[in-house]
Amino acid sequence: MAVNPPDSPSLVLEDVTRTITSITLRFVPGSYNGGNLITGYILYRDQGVGGSPYSMIYNGTSFPEIIFYNVTNLMTGHIYNF
């Protein structure tokens, strides 16, 4: 029996931990899990420059209990996409 993929999680910025060069993101599971347990989250980020490629910055496979990730080494004046 085929299963459907789960909804992507939402990322929430935890303002309390934000600094000038780092942020903490929280994974909020989507409302539909596709009939499967969530086994972890993978996070990709661009380089903060329009059109830059995305690269994996966190591979949380097999760690579904980890729902926070601290992103460091950010540069002011850049807009990052996750």
pLDDT at 2 over 60: no
Residue with tokens 């420059």: 49
Mean pLDDT of all residues in 45-74? 94
Structural domain spans, the chain: 10-71
Task: Write out the two tokens for 33.
Answer: 């899990």
- pLDDT at position 1 is 52
- pLDDT at position 36 is 83
pTM of the model: 0.83
Residue 23 DSSP class: E
